[in-house]
Structure 1
Amino acid sequence: MSDSKLTAAILIVSDTASQNASTDRCGPALKEVFESDERGSFAVSEVKIVPDSTEAIQHFIKHNTDHADPVNLIITSGGTGFAVKDSTPEAVSPLIHKHATGLVHAMLSASLAITPFAMMARPIAGVRNSTLIITLPGSPKGAKENLEAILRQLPHACQQAAGADSRELHVGGVTQLEQDAGLRRFMTVKGMSVYNCEIYGHVHGSHKAPVPHTKSESHPQSNDPNAGPSRRYRSSPYPMLSVDEALQLIQEHTPSSKAVMRLVDEALVGSVLADDVKAVESVPAFRASIVDGYAIKLPSSGKSVKGIYPVAMISHAQAGDIASLEEGSIARITTGAPLPPGADAVVMVEDTVLKSNTTDGQEEKDVEILTDEIVRGENIREVGSDVQAGETIMKKGEGITAIGGELGLLASVGVRQVLVYHKPVVGVLSTGDEIVPHDRLGDLRLGEVRDTNRPTLLTAIQGSGFKAMDLGIASDKPGALEEALRTAFTHVDVLITTGGVSMGELDLLKPTIERALGGTIHFGRVNMKPGKPTTFASLVLKNPTSGARITKLIFSLPGNPASATVCYHLFVFPSLHTASGISPPGLPKVTVILESAVRCDKGRPEYHRVAVTAKRDGILYANSTGMQRSSRIGSFKSANALLCLPAGKGMLSKGDKVDALLMGQIVGYIDA
């Protein structure tokens, strides 16, 4: 082999990824296979994404093969299945001069050892001019497995295709070639030829077999949908975590808050400041009267003098120039109006009497001041007496509430924009072929279910102060679900899905997240009632604008409406707080008194929906909202709290004290 590296070009065939490159997981996965090969045979010269277009595929191949300096290897990913748009084999096949059926057989054999659905693949391989071309599946996992199955033979194949001297390449025989590639040859066992299982091991048996250093149960993997219902898991591979353990993982994997500049307007409500804010202007910006009365210029004694004074001018609370006030005259002034230059104090109207009017009777002419106790500065609000320009008026970490005080303060001192923590955009996607829009006209057909979760969660998100995006309903079909998830992440920071997280053959969310999208599932079961199959995952994508890696979160909640709503408040809400800089995150916990007996679940802690009210004795009381079945969204009617019931405690009696998580306001007081 030459000392220089062989060149490889990667072509991703995908309508979705061609519109948004950040959704592509195959390109990085294939590039990583080449880069992690310890032999370092290939250097990736290009990774390109094109739509499912025969013309685009053929143009890429011809561009990289039909000139004096072609690449040695072209790997394509995508478009090799049976979907209507899958046309990669049809685009590539006419361009092949020599077909390489052995490579195709090797890839299919490797895939069939993993899943019988590999027989549905349609890969082709062959040589055009001096370039080897191989088509791989469109899923990151499948593409990676296929490439790894043949990677060690590819340098030799590419060298031959490029015109290397075949005698020199084979001078050591097949055994030498296998050793150079790090391969073991076929062995004969009881008359049968089998391939040694240590494909990537050393030729000599002096080294021990590799030993894993972690247990498989510490990193469980979801069902393989291609395995079919007969081979699906009969119990969840995910360990059962406590609620506290699940919350800890959510906090660990929620991206840290990011600061953004925002205008000071009503949309700022609910945001948290990412930096201190200083006043741009002093308040008040001018000397102003705090009463209705008369501005006066005091004599050198510093006190007012009783007597009759002519009204020289009028100052209202409006913009405009004001003449200077001379000693011996006064100016009528209203509350908040600027003092005339030269004025020292304001006499309240209550300390005066009218002595005469102007000749037309419309205005005051002379006013008598009845007191001589008015001193300099009395009834005047001095410049900056409320807030001085440059003074810190709000500190980092403080929030902008809906009460209005913070927004009013910022507006009053001339602050036009502030640095706050970005509030994540949350998308809600229902899943399942049985789900129909809640407002669809007509009766339900057998098996159909109205979509309760989506409108309920959208309302809860908006009520929590976050922007919610309605993503509709996704089919249970693997391809449709994957496309819906990829599209969702072009619009949202956090995705909430409902349904498809249990153990059924059509519960495809976990496999799609993990196997198709390359996401990481941090937990897949929680010891709680309701909401045991709640799943939390994260996915790292590339920002199409900046190229930076960004983390998206996925909360896959159960399909039952009450379960989904409980899990939103318990798990999603604190994550949104953390991402927005709100501390402490999550629902506030209070102690309540039970108004009636409540039964605890024997095996799991339960989050029982209750209505909490305050009596005039200042104590909070909780009333159950009735039957707590996980499918009964009616248990949330009038509920403003989740009662935290411990497992295995039997009955809790009326009058017992229990912790509760407040989801909403406590409405008014009732008689004790």
Structure 2
Amino acid sequence: MVMSSQSPILRAAILVVSTTAAKDPTTDAAEATLRSVFEQDGGNQWTVAETQIVSDDLAEIQRQIALWTEPVDTGKDAINLVVTTGGTGFAVADRTPEAVLPLLHKQAPGLVHGMLSASLVITPFAMMSRPVAGVRNNTVIITLPGSPKGAKENLQAVIKTLPHACLQASGANSRALHSGGVKKLEKEAGLDSQGPSSAQAHTHAHSHAHSHTHGHSHEHDHGHSCHRHTHTHDHSHGHNHGNLVRLSSENPKSNDPSLGPSRRHRSSPYPMLSVDDALSLIAKHTASPTATTAKVSPDLVGKVLAQDVFSSAPVPAFRASIVDGYAVVVPPSGHLRGVYPVASTSHAAPSSNLTPLKEGQIARITTGAPLPPGANSVVMVEDTVLISTTKTTHPTTGQEIEEESSVEILSDGIVKPGANIREIGSDIPLNTLLLPAKTRLSPASIGLLSSIGTQSVQIFTPPTISILSTGDEIVEPSLPRDLSLGEVRDCNRPTLLSAISQLGFTPIDLGIVSDKTNHLETTLRTALRQSDIVLTTGGVSMGEFDLLKPTIERSLGGTIHFGRVNMKPGKPTTFATVPFKDNSGNRTEKIIFGLPGNPASALVTFYLFVLPALHQIAGVSPVGLRKLPVVLGHDFPLDKSRPEYHRATVTVTNDGKLLATSTGGQRSSKVGSMEGANALLCMHAGPEPLKEGEKVDALLMGELRSELS
């Protein structure tokens, strides 16, 4: 929980329980509704720190709630409240209460009564809900209905009492909390003695009274982020967060290059945002994916399906043999041992003239070949002996050959009809869901689509991204001579071009741009015309030649949504949008990411901020790097003032542990710290080091390594 001068900021988590939404998150409306309740009715005491969607599965529900409600170390942010939505009715799949009840250390029937009482005033059908509430460790948990309307009404009924409940559950001094009596508590919560229903009626006026104080967008929560809503701000700019975040080109904050170095800012005019607030702004201002039709080919690997694909034909389309052997007609007795004439052959080749097979005859057949009409089983060639042959002419070469005339089947036991046969549609039935929308296509996906003859599919259009480096000191890495004093070989651009290509996207290389306003503006306009995202490195700090922010605001009329982030490395990371007309004359917004010039900072901030935007446009879900808990292999120092993303190697030990070790010195200019790193460790700020054996979250940039390798 983050303490302010007014009241504690409480951290809430929203768990959407819905099998439908787990497959397609766009179908869920409850999360956005609950966020609005926290923002409008929560008295500025809440931040939605985490959201997840799980299926109507007991184990999945319990696993996520247990993860959120486990005790945390002192100094780390805990989840104060978990609200679930969905699965509280009488349907067969509704099992949220059954999942939550065993997890509770204390039940809270008063909260349940408050929610039901408020809902029953609105509809008698509220009695069909089965809410549960209580405390696990230091976290309050309540279950809400799945409908956005019902979830909203239930949360509104109790939200003004929840801060008090969460403070008590977190271990606050109960005597101090209750000093002044119930009337004081009611007044502080914006309640009166008439109960939850009056609190619900009060929320409209209350939310208007506070709406000016909290402008952060929490509409998107990215699972790859590790530091949850620390609300670190530059207090010299006041507390009107909405005005701080939304900077307009009509009132630019950046330096005016024409005024000279003596008139430039001595400290950044941009507020210091938390990583989570920065990610929320990126999600808010990044376009949703758009669909296009594409021909099925190997080029689609890595692309994301925009619609469900159903099988248009069964596979196999005919009854086929699984083995090389002999097609037979199994008699009612099931006994086949004996000598049989070979009446025909069937090869794995197109054929429209298969001779029907009768009982007492067999047909030689190869793997994958169609069964002759009448055949109902296949005996493997290993279970037979050749008895006699006859001379015949080869159908293609015309040469005389020995053909099988009779074969003995050696099977002693019962032969079952259907043995060694692939029935029609046994691999892929007709009209079944082959690949659901939002599937990221793999080589196997291409094979699957090809097997049913799919010619084209709807995919999300992958984003285009242009990359340029800025700075008069930057030279091409291939420069054949020794460097002059002050020159630096460009390693950022090749690194980022490689990272983007490895992730399956196609970058556009725009080279190096000098520290001249007109040159930078011209190159940025070119980049905006040909790409969805423009990625720059360097020129985002406070020097007189750091021209990116002034060019965006003053020359391009863009909006800088954030210009500083509370993190290490990567503090000056910049995110902006620029109004632009596409080739059809339609007005749109293009994105510019200004990454720091130091190599480690550039790559870390690329993975943390740019990758989620690429994923969002491409339709990839979930966005960003995968997060998982790891164990520290040695002591790690902490930065005293900023959360740090520590470059590390995560190894799977012989006993199955995920062990993290540092790649060495973490200076932001030290490009070698990224070599060998497959993860970023999410380290909170603090005075004391984290000890060997402690657990932290890691964001995976590459494959896990094995201790044996």
User: TM-score, structure 2 length as denominator?
Assistant: 0.62
> 2:574, 2:704 → 1: CA distance?
31
Q: Secondary structure at the match of 2:276?
A: helix
Where 2:273 maps in the other structure, the secondary structure is coil
Amino acid at match of 2:404: E
Alignment partner of 2:343 out of 296, 312, 315: 312
Residue 404 (structure 2) pairs with residue 364 (structure 1): yes
For residue 329 of structure 1, the aligned residue among 344, 361, 370 is 361
Output aligned runs, 1:381-460, within 5 Å.
381-401=422-442, 404-460=443-499
Q: Find the aligned partners of 1:647 and 1:446 in 2 and give their Cα distance.
A: 37
Change beyond 3 A, Cα 1:604–1:311: same
Q: Deviations over 1:306-346 (max 9, x none)?
A: 33211122222122334313323221111111112332221
- The question of 1:635 aligning with 2:673 is answered yes
Residues in 2 aligned to 1:418 and 1:213: alpha-carbon distance in whole angstroms:
44
1:497 is matched with which residue? Answer: 536
Match of 1:559 among 597, 620, 626: 597
1:287 and 1:592 map into 2 onto residues whose CA distance is: 51
Letter paired with 2:408: E
Q: Secondary structure at the match of 2:277?
A: helix
User: 1:233 maps to which residue?
Assistant: 265
**Deviation readout 1:160-188 (Å, 9 max, x if unpaired):** xxxxxxxxxxxxxxxxxxxxxxxxxxxxx
**Which deviates more from structure 2 when the two are superposed, residues 611-620 or residues 313-322?**
313-322
Contact (CA 8 Å) 2:289, 2:619: kept in 1 or not?
yes
Cα distance in 1 for partners of 2:496, 2:328 equals 63
Partner of 1:376: 417
**Residues 90-145 of structure 1: per-residue CA shift (max 9 Å, x gap):** xxxxxxxxxxxxxxxxxxxxxxxxxxxxxxxxxxxxxxxxxxxxxxxxxxxxxxxx
Could you tell me which amino acid in structure 2 is paired with residue 323 of structure 1?
L
Residues in 2 aligned to 1:322 and 1:443: alpha-carbon distance in whole angstroms: 76
CA distance in 1, matches of 2:510, 2:258: 27
Q: d(CA) in 2 for partners of 1:281 and 1:550?
A: 42
Q: How many residues align?
A: 456
By how many angstroms is 1:362 displaced? 2.9
Q: Say yes or no: does 1:580 pair with 2:621.
A: no
Give the distance between the partners of 2:489 and 2:245, measured in 1 at CA.
37
Paired residue type of 2:445: E
Distance 1:296 1:499, change over 3 A: same
Partners of 1:365 and 1:217 in 2: how far apart?
Answer: 87
Q: Which runs of 5 or more structure 2 residues have no equivalent in the other structure? A: 1-239, 392-399
Aligned partners of 2:244, 2:606: CA distance in 1, in Å?
A: 30
Secondary structure of 1:661's aligned partner = strand
Partner of 1:342: 374
- The alignment status of 1:524 with 2:563, answered yes or no, reads yes
Residue 518 (structure 1) shift: 1.1
CA RMSD across the alignment: 2.1
Q: For the Cα contact (< 8 Å) 2:245–2:562, is it kept in 1? A: no
Matching residue of 1:263: 295
For residues 595 and 295 of structure 1, what CA distance do their matches in structure 2 show? 62
More deviation, 238-247/535-544: 535-544
Change (3 A) 1:255 1:217: closer
1:654 to 692, 698, 708: 692
Secondary structure (helix, strand or coil) at the match of 2:281 reads helix
Asked if 2 retains the 8 angstrom alpha-carbon contact of 1:324 and 1:342, the reply is no
Aligned with 1:567: secondary structure? helix
Quote the residue 2:138 is aligned against: none
Per-residue CA distance 1:514-549 (angstroms, 9 max, x = gap): 1111111110000111111000011221111x3222
Task: Tell me, in whole angstroms, the C-alpha distance in 2 between the residues paired with 1:406 and 1:213.
Answer: 46
Higher mean displacement: 650-659 or 466-475 = 650-659
Work out the CA distance in 2 between the residues paired with 1:224 and 1:510.
10
Q: Does 1:592 align with 2:644?
A: no
Which aligned pairs between 1:474-489 and structure 2 lie closer than 5 A?
474-489=513-528
SS for the counterpart of 2:543 is coil
- Note if contact 2:344-2:355 (Cα within 8 Å) is conserved in structure 1: no
* Structure 1 CA distance for aligned equivalents of residues 644 and 298 of structure 2: 38
Change (3 A) 1:485 1:665: same
State the percentage of identical aligned residues: 57
Partner of 1:613: 651
Q: Look up the match of 2:703.
A: 665
CA distance in 2, matches of 1:305, 1:443: 84
Task: State the one-letter code of the partner of 2:311.
Answer: A
Q: How do 1:11-90 and structure 2 match up within 5 A?
A: none
- Is 1:296 equivalent to 2:323 in the alignment? no
State the 1:214 CA deviation.
Answer: 8.9
Deviation at 1:218, TM superposition (A): 5.9
1:645 Cα deviation after fit = 1.1
Q: C-alpha deviations, 1:430-466, integer Å up to 9, x for none?
A: 0111111001110111111100100000111111121
Q: By how many angstroms is 1:298 displaced?
A: 4.3
Number of the residue aligned with 1:549: 587
> Take 2:241 and 2:640, find their aligned partners in 1: how far apart are those partners?
37
Q: Secondary structure at the match of 2:501?
A: helix
**CA gap 1:426/1:302 in 2 versus in 1, 3 angstroms:** farther
* Shift, 1:216, TM fit: 7.6
Q: d(CA) in 1 for partners of 2:242 and 2:440? A: 44
For residues 353-385 of structure 1, what are the alpha-carbon distances to aligned partners after superposition, in whole Å with 9 as ceiling and x for unaligned? 211122477332110123472343322111112
After superposition, the C-alpha distances for 1:480-522 in whole angstroms (9 at most, x for unaligned) are: 0000001112221111100000011111101111111111111
Secondary structure of the corresponding residue to residue 672 of structure 2:
helix
The answer (yes or no) to whether the contact 1:317–1:336 under 8 Å persists in 2 is yes
Residue 624 of structure 1 is aligned with which of 652, 659, 662? 662
Cα distance between partner residues in 2 of 1:534 and 1:636:
18
* SS of 1:506 mapped into structure 2: coil
2:318 alignment partner, SS class: coil
Q: Which amino acid aligns with 1:601?
A: D
8 Å CA contact 2:357, 2:373 repeated in 1: no
Specify every segment of 5 or more residues in structure 1 that has no aligned partner in the other structure, as ranges.
Answer: 1-211
Contact 1:525 1:533 in 2 (8 A): yes
Aligned counterparts of 2:241 and 2:303: Cα–Cα separation in 1: 45
**Higher mean C-alpha displacement, 647-656 vs 583-592:** 647-656
**Kept after mapping to 2: 8 A contact 1:613/1:670:** no
Q: Distance in 2 between matches of 1:552 and 1:241?
A: 22
Per-residue CA deviation, residues 563-599 of structure 1 (Å, 9 max, x unaligned), is 1011001110111111111122111111112222111
Query: Structure 2 vs 1, CA of residues 618 and 289 (structure 1 numbering), >3 Å: closer, same or farther?
Result: same
Which residue type is aligned with residue 368 of structure 1?
E
Q: What CA distance in whole angstroms lies between the structure 1 residues aligned with 2:608 and 2:647?
A: 12
Tell me the amino acid that sits aligned with residue 347 of structure 2: H
Measured against aligned partners, the alpha-carbon deviations of 1:240-264 in whole angstroms (never above 9, x if no partner) come to 0011111111111111111111222
Q: Residues 430 and 472 of structure 1 are in contact (CA less than 8 Å); yes or no, is this contact kept in structure 2?
A: yes
Determine helix, strand or coil for the equivalent of 1:407: helix
Amino acid at match of 2:405: K
> 1 CA distance for matches of 2:708 and 2:414?
52
Structure 1 residue 646: Cα displacement: 0.7
Q: Aligned partners of 2:625 and 2:610: how far apart in 1? A: 11
Give 1:215 deviation, angstroms: 6.1
Question: For the residues of structure 1 that align with 2:428 and 2:242, how far apart are their CA atoms?
Answer: 61
Structure 1 CA distance, aligned partners of 2:329 and 2:302? 48
